[in-house]
Amino acid sequence: MSDSGVAYRREGATGLVVLDAPNRNALTPEFADAVVAALAEAESDPEVTALVFASAGRSFCSGADLDMLGRVGQDPLQEDNFAGIGRIYALFERLRDAAIPTLAAVNGTLVGAGLNLPLACDLRIVADDLRLIGFGRAGVHPGGGHLAMLARNLPAGEAAAIALFNQEMSAAQALASGFAHEVVPRADLLTRALEIAAAAGTDGQLTRMVTRTYRAVDETRPTPRAAVMLERAPQVWSMQRRVRG
For the chain, 245 residues long, give each residue's pLDDT as a single digit of tens: 567 799 999 999 999 999 999 999 999 999 999 999 999 999 999 999 999 999 999 999 998 866 766 665 666 666 666 667 889 889 999 999 999 999 999 999 999 989 999 999 999 999 999 999 998 877 788 988 899 999 999 999 999 999 999 999 999 999 999 999 999 999 999 999 999 999 999 999 999 999 999 998 887 777 777 777 777 888 778 877 877 87
The pLDDT score that the predictor gives to residue 162 is 96
What gap in Å lies between CA 158 and CA 146, rounded to an integer?
Answer: 14
The Cα 18–Cα 8 span in angstroms is 6
pLDDT tens track for 132-189: 999 887 778 898 889 999 999 999 999 999 999 999 999 999 999 999 999 999 999 9
Q: What is the pLDDT of residue 83?
A: 65
pTM here is 0.90
Give the other-Cβ count within 10 Å of 109's Cβ: 19
Which helix (H) or strand (E) covers residue 15, if one does? strand 14-19
Helices (H), the chain: 22-25, 29-44, 66-74, 79-96, 116-119, 146-153, 156-163, 171-177, 189-198, 204-220, 224-243
Distance of CA 194 to CAs 70, 73, 129, 160, 199, Å? 37, 39, 19, 31, 9
Q: Which of 170, 55, 45, 184 is nearest to 114 (CA)?
A: 55
Residue 39 amino acid letter: L
- Given this model, what pLDDT does residue 69 score? 65
Distance CA 204, CA 100 (A): 8
**pLDDT the model gives residue 72:** 58
3-state class (DSSP) for residue 197: helix
> Nearest 5 degrees, angle CA 75-CA 78-CA 84?
100
CA–CA separation, 184 and 216 (whole Å) = 31
